[in-house]
Amino acid sequence: MSNTIGFLRRHISAILAIALLMGGGGVAYGVAGHGGDRASSKATRIYACVKSHSHLLTRTSATKPCPKGSKKISWSIAGPAGAAGVAGAQGPIGPDGAAGATGATGPAGAQGAPGPAGADGIDGIDGIDGTDGIDGIDGTDGVDGIDGTDGTDGTDGADAVSDFAEFFALAPPDNAATVALGSDVAFPQDGPTAGGGLTRTGPSTFNLAQIGIYRVSFSVPVTEAGQLILTLNGADLAYTVVGRATGTSIIAGEALVQTTVINSLLTVRNPAGNSTALTITPLSGGARPASSTLVIERLD
Protein backbone atom coordinates (compact mmCIF):
# COMPACT_ATOMS: atom_id res chain seq x y z
CA MET A 1 0.00 0.00 0.00
CA SER A 2 2.76 2.44 0.88
CA ASN A 3 4.50 1.60 -2.48
CA THR A 4 1.31 2.49 -4.34
CA ILE A 5 1.01 5.83 -2.51
CA GLY A 6 4.64 6.63 -3.28
CA PHE A 7 4.17 5.73 -6.90
CA LEU A 8 1.10 7.99 -7.11
CA ARG A 9 3.13 10.86 -5.68
CA ARG A 10 5.94 10.37 -8.25
CA HIS A 11 3.52 10.14 -11.18
CA ILE A 12 0.87 12.71 -10.09
CA SER A 13 0.94 14.44 -13.48
CA ALA A 14 0.09 11.22 -15.23
CA ILE A 15 -2.75 10.50 -12.84
CA LEU A 16 -4.22 13.96 -13.49
CA ALA A 17 -4.04 13.25 -17.18
CA ILE A 18 -5.92 10.00 -16.58
CA ALA A 19 -8.56 11.90 -14.66
CA LEU A 20 -8.98 14.34 -17.54
CA LEU A 21 -9.12 11.48 -19.95
CA MET A 22 -11.81 9.81 -17.83
CA GLY A 23 -13.79 13.02 -17.89
CA GLY A 24 -13.47 12.96 -21.69
CA GLY A 25 -15.09 9.52 -22.01
CA GLY A 26 -14.29 7.57 -25.16
CA VAL A 27 -11.55 10.01 -26.38
CA ALA A 28 -9.10 8.85 -23.66
CA TYR A 29 -9.41 5.26 -24.83
CA GLY A 30 -8.60 6.34 -28.37
CA VAL A 31 -5.29 7.90 -27.30
CA ALA A 32 -3.98 5.48 -24.67
CA GLY A 33 -6.45 2.68 -24.34
CA HIS A 34 -4.96 0.08 -26.64
CA GLY A 35 -6.30 -3.34 -25.82
CA GLY A 36 -7.89 -2.14 -22.53
CA ASP A 37 -11.34 -3.38 -21.40
CA ARG A 38 -14.12 -0.86 -21.09
CA ALA A 39 -15.08 -0.31 -17.45
CA SER A 40 -18.14 -2.24 -16.38
CA SER A 41 -21.05 -0.16 -15.21
CA LYS A 42 -20.75 -2.13 -11.98
CA ALA A 43 -16.95 -1.62 -11.46
CA THR A 44 -15.88 0.22 -8.32
CA ARG A 45 -12.12 0.60 -9.17
CA ILE A 46 -10.08 1.58 -12.22
CA TYR A 47 -6.92 -0.42 -13.19
CA ALA A 48 -4.04 0.86 -15.44
CA CYS A 49 -0.49 -0.10 -16.49
CA VAL A 50 2.15 2.70 -16.18
CA LYS A 51 5.32 2.53 -18.21
CA SER A 52 8.34 3.38 -16.15
CA HIS A 53 10.27 5.52 -18.63
CA SER A 54 7.37 7.35 -20.37
CA HIS A 55 4.72 7.35 -17.64
CA LEU A 56 2.18 6.33 -20.25
CA LEU A 57 -0.94 4.86 -18.75
CA THR A 58 -2.73 1.99 -20.40
CA ARG A 59 -6.19 0.94 -19.20
CA THR A 60 -6.37 -2.69 -18.05
CA SER A 61 -8.48 -4.95 -15.84
CA ALA A 62 -8.00 -6.41 -12.43
CA THR A 63 -7.11 -9.85 -13.83
CA LYS A 64 -5.04 -8.89 -16.84
CA PRO A 65 -1.22 -8.58 -16.22
CA CYS A 66 0.76 -5.46 -17.34
CA PRO A 67 3.51 -5.83 -20.04
CA LYS A 68 7.14 -5.87 -19.07
CA GLY A 69 8.44 -2.47 -18.05
CA SER A 70 4.99 -1.39 -16.79
CA LYS A 71 3.46 -1.36 -13.33
CA LYS A 72 -0.27 -1.93 -12.51
CA ILE A 73 -1.96 0.73 -10.47
CA SER A 74 -5.66 1.14 -9.39
CA TRP A 75 -7.87 3.64 -7.64
CA SER A 76 -11.49 3.95 -6.60
CA ILE A 77 -13.98 5.34 -9.07
CA ALA A 78 -15.60 7.55 -6.43
CA GLY A 79 -13.24 10.10 -4.93
CA PRO A 80 -13.50 11.48 -1.44
CA ALA A 81 -16.42 13.93 -0.77
CA GLY A 82 -15.40 17.52 -1.45
CA ALA A 83 -15.84 20.34 1.03
CA ALA A 84 -19.33 21.78 1.32
CA GLY A 85 -19.91 24.66 -1.05
CA VAL A 86 -21.02 28.14 0.01
CA ALA A 87 -24.76 28.30 0.75
CA GLY A 88 -26.67 29.78 -2.16
CA ALA A 89 -28.98 32.76 -1.85
CA GLN A 90 -32.44 32.10 -0.39
CA GLY A 91 -34.98 31.33 -3.05
CA PRO A 92 -38.36 33.10 -3.30
CA ILE A 93 -41.17 32.07 -0.92
CA GLY A 94 -43.28 29.37 -2.50
CA PRO A 95 -47.11 29.53 -2.66
CA ASP A 96 -49.14 28.57 0.43
CA GLY A 97 -49.79 24.88 0.73
CA ALA A 98 -53.30 23.41 0.97
CA ALA A 99 -55.03 23.77 4.37
CA GLY A 100 -54.36 20.83 6.62
CA ALA A 101 -57.10 18.73 8.27
CA THR A 102 -58.68 20.16 11.43
CA GLY A 103 -56.80 19.00 14.48
CA ALA A 104 -58.42 17.21 17.40
CA THR A 105 -60.35 19.39 19.88
CA GLY A 106 -58.14 20.45 22.71
CA PRO A 107 -59.14 20.11 26.37
CA ALA A 108 -61.59 22.67 27.76
CA GLY A 109 -59.93 25.73 29.17
CA ALA A 110 -60.41 26.94 32.70
CA GLN A 111 -63.73 28.73 33.41
CA GLY A 112 -63.45 32.44 32.91
CA ALA A 113 -64.46 35.02 35.46
CA PRO A 114 -68.22 35.90 35.47
CA GLY A 115 -69.09 38.74 33.15
CA PRO A 116 -70.97 41.83 34.33
CA ALA A 117 -74.71 41.44 34.95
CA GLY A 118 -76.85 42.22 31.91
CA ALA A 119 -79.65 44.77 31.92
CA ASP A 120 -83.03 43.60 33.32
CA GLY A 121 -85.29 42.10 30.67
CA ILE A 122 -88.90 43.17 30.05
CA ASP A 123 -91.34 41.67 32.57
CA GLY A 124 -93.04 38.55 31.23
CA ILE A 125 -96.81 37.99 31.14
CA ASP A 126 -98.24 36.91 34.50
CA GLY A 127 -98.73 33.15 34.72
CA ILE A 128 -102.06 31.49 35.53
CA ASP A 129 -102.91 31.53 39.23
CA GLY A 130 -102.05 28.28 40.93
CA THR A 131 -104.53 26.15 42.85
CA ASP A 132 -105.28 27.41 46.34
CA GLY A 133 -103.25 25.64 48.96
CA ILE A 134 -104.76 23.76 51.88
CA ASP A 135 -105.93 26.05 54.66
CA GLY A 136 -103.45 26.25 57.48
CA ILE A 137 -104.27 25.41 61.07
CA ASP A 138 -106.13 28.20 62.85
CA GLY A 139 -103.86 30.28 65.03
CA THR A 140 -104.42 30.83 68.71
CA ASP A 141 -107.10 33.40 69.50
CA GLY A 142 -105.65 36.76 70.37
CA VAL A 143 -106.38 38.62 73.56
CA ASP A 144 -109.78 40.32 73.54
CA GLY A 145 -109.55 44.00 72.76
CA ILE A 146 -110.93 46.74 74.97
CA ASP A 147 -114.69 47.18 74.61
CA GLY A 148 -115.59 50.11 72.43
CA THR A 149 -117.86 52.94 73.42
CA ASP A 150 -121.56 52.12 73.25
CA GLY A 151 -123.21 53.45 70.11
CA THR A 152 -126.17 55.79 70.02
CA ASP A 153 -129.54 54.11 70.57
CA GLY A 154 -131.38 53.50 67.33
CA THR A 155 -134.85 54.73 66.52
CA ASP A 156 -137.63 52.72 68.14
CA GLY A 157 -139.15 50.21 65.76
CA ALA A 158 -142.85 49.88 65.02
CA ASP A 159 -144.96 48.17 67.68
CA ALA A 160 -145.09 44.38 67.26
CA VAL A 161 -148.36 42.84 66.16
CA SER A 162 -150.29 41.75 69.25
CA ASP A 163 -153.32 39.90 67.75
CA PHE A 164 -153.71 36.40 69.18
CA ALA A 165 -156.54 34.19 70.39
CA GLU A 166 -157.08 30.75 71.88
CA PHE A 167 -160.20 28.64 71.38
CA PHE A 168 -160.86 25.26 73.02
CA ALA A 169 -163.30 22.41 73.67
CA LEU A 170 -163.69 20.07 76.70
CA ALA A 171 -164.79 16.48 76.27
CA PRO A 172 -167.14 15.92 77.76
CA PRO A 173 -169.46 17.79 77.19
CA ASP A 174 -168.14 19.35 73.88
CA ASN A 175 -167.87 17.36 70.63
CA ALA A 176 -170.20 14.65 71.91
CA ALA A 177 -170.89 13.47 68.37
CA THR A 178 -168.21 12.08 66.03
CA VAL A 179 -166.65 14.41 63.45
CA ALA A 180 -167.86 13.16 60.07
CA LEU A 181 -165.70 13.07 56.94
CA GLY A 182 -165.49 16.57 55.46
CA SER A 183 -166.75 18.14 58.76
CA ASP A 184 -164.93 20.54 61.09
CA VAL A 185 -163.85 20.09 64.72
CA ALA A 186 -165.67 22.39 67.14
CA PHE A 187 -163.76 24.67 69.55
CA PRO A 188 -166.82 26.34 71.18
CA GLN A 189 -165.13 27.95 74.17
CA ASP A 190 -162.96 31.11 74.18
CA GLY A 191 -159.55 31.36 75.80
CA PRO A 192 -157.27 34.40 76.17
CA THR A 193 -157.41 36.91 73.30
CA ALA A 194 -155.81 40.27 72.33
CA GLY A 195 -155.97 42.75 69.46
CA GLY A 196 -159.54 42.12 68.41
CA GLY A 197 -158.67 40.87 64.93
CA LEU A 198 -159.34 37.18 65.68
CA THR A 199 -162.93 36.14 66.37
CA ARG A 200 -165.25 33.18 65.98
CA THR A 201 -168.25 33.09 63.63
CA GLY A 202 -169.48 29.74 64.94
CA PRO A 203 -168.35 26.76 67.09
CA SER A 204 -165.93 25.55 64.38
CA THR A 205 -165.25 28.64 62.15
CA PHE A 206 -162.88 31.51 62.97
CA ASN A 207 -162.49 34.92 61.30
CA LEU A 208 -159.04 36.35 60.37
CA ALA A 209 -159.87 40.05 59.95
CA GLN A 210 -156.57 41.33 58.48
CA ILE A 211 -154.56 40.35 55.41
CA GLY A 212 -151.29 38.86 56.65
CA ILE A 213 -149.40 35.81 57.88
CA TYR A 214 -150.73 33.77 60.83
CA ARG A 215 -149.24 30.98 62.93
CA VAL A 216 -151.92 28.31 63.60
CA SER A 217 -151.45 25.51 66.18
CA PHE A 218 -154.00 22.80 67.11
CA SER A 219 -154.16 19.72 69.34
CA VAL A 220 -157.08 17.20 69.35
CA PRO A 221 -157.30 13.84 71.27
CA VAL A 222 -158.80 11.30 68.83
CA THR A 223 -159.77 7.69 69.45
CA GLU A 224 -159.32 6.33 65.91
CA ALA A 225 -156.35 6.43 63.53
CA GLY A 226 -156.95 9.39 61.24
CA GLN A 227 -155.92 12.83 59.93
CA LEU A 228 -156.75 16.53 60.38
CA ILE A 229 -156.21 19.45 57.96
CA LEU A 230 -156.59 23.28 58.01
CA THR A 231 -158.93 24.95 55.56
CA LEU A 232 -159.06 28.61 54.51
CA ASN A 233 -162.31 29.96 53.06
CA GLY A 234 -163.46 26.36 52.54
CA ALA A 235 -160.33 25.18 50.63
CA ASP A 236 -158.02 22.50 52.05
CA LEU A 237 -154.43 23.67 52.77
CA ALA A 238 -152.66 20.46 51.68
CA TYR A 239 -149.35 21.31 53.35
CA THR A 240 -151.03 21.36 56.79
CA VAL A 241 -152.19 17.67 56.94
CA VAL A 242 -151.15 15.76 60.10
CA GLY A 243 -152.22 12.31 61.26
CA ARG A 244 -151.34 9.08 63.01
CA ALA A 245 -151.55 5.38 62.19
CA THR A 246 -152.78 4.19 65.61
CA GLY A 247 -155.63 5.39 67.80
CA THR A 248 -156.14 6.89 71.26
CA SER A 249 -153.61 9.70 71.16
CA ILE A 250 -153.44 13.37 70.24
CA ILE A 251 -153.28 14.59 66.63
CA ALA A 252 -151.37 17.89 66.74
CA GLY A 253 -150.16 20.24 64.03
CA GLU A 254 -148.70 23.72 63.41
CA ALA A 255 -148.44 25.76 60.18
CA LEU A 256 -148.15 29.29 58.80
CA VAL A 257 -151.22 30.51 56.91
CA GLN A 258 -151.22 33.56 54.64
CA THR A 259 -154.44 35.42 53.82
CA THR A 260 -154.98 37.55 50.72
CA VAL A 261 -158.40 38.99 51.56
CA ILE A 262 -159.85 40.43 54.76
CA ASN A 263 -162.19 38.38 56.98
CA SER A 264 -160.91 34.98 55.84
CA LEU A 265 -162.50 31.94 57.57
CA LEU A 266 -160.30 29.21 59.13
CA THR A 267 -161.33 25.65 60.25
CA VAL A 268 -159.77 22.37 61.46
CA ARG A 269 -161.33 19.52 59.37
CA ASN A 270 -161.52 15.74 59.11
CA PRO A 271 -160.52 15.53 55.40
CA ALA A 272 -163.09 14.28 52.93
CA GLY A 273 -161.98 11.10 51.19
CA ASN A 274 -160.66 9.45 54.35
CA SER A 275 -162.37 6.28 55.60
CA THR A 276 -163.26 7.05 59.21
CA ALA A 277 -165.31 9.53 61.20
CA LEU A 278 -163.32 10.72 64.22
CA THR A 279 -164.32 10.43 67.87
CA ILE A 280 -163.02 13.17 70.17
CA THR A 281 -161.82 11.07 73.10
CA PRO A 282 -163.64 11.98 76.37
CA LEU A 283 -161.73 11.88 79.64
CA SER A 284 -158.58 11.02 77.73
CA GLY A 285 -156.11 9.28 80.06
CA GLY A 286 -157.97 10.10 83.32
CA ALA A 287 -161.12 11.35 85.10
CA ARG A 288 -161.07 14.95 83.91
CA PRO A 289 -162.40 16.26 80.60
CA ALA A 290 -159.63 16.45 77.96
CA SER A 291 -159.21 19.68 76.01
CA SER A 292 -158.87 20.29 72.28
CA THR A 293 -157.13 23.63 71.56
CA LEU A 294 -156.72 26.02 68.65
CA VAL A 295 -154.23 28.96 68.94
CA ILE A 296 -154.02 31.67 66.22
CA GLU A 297 -151.33 34.43 66.12
CA ARG A 298 -151.02 37.20 63.55
CA LEU A 299 -147.29 37.69 62.66
CA ASP A 300 -147.56 40.29 59.90
> pLDDT tens, 177-206?
999 999 999 999 999 999 999 999 999 999
In the predicted model, what is the mean pLDDT of the chain? 83
* Interatomic CA distance for residues 260 and 237, integer angstroms: 14
pLDDT of residue 157: 53
Answer yes or no: are the C-beta atoms of 202 and 191 closer than 8 Å. no
Average pLDDT estimate for 77-89: 82
Answer yes or no: are the C-beta atoms of 247 and 225 closer than 8 Å. yes
The answer to which of 39-48, 165-174, 265-274 has the lowest mean pLDDT is 39-48
pLDDT in tens, 210-228: 999 999 999 999 999 999 9
Domains with residue ranges and CATH for the chain:
2-76 (no CATH), 164-298 (2.60.120.40)
The answer to which of 115-119, 123-127, 153-157 has the lowest mean pLDDT is 153-157
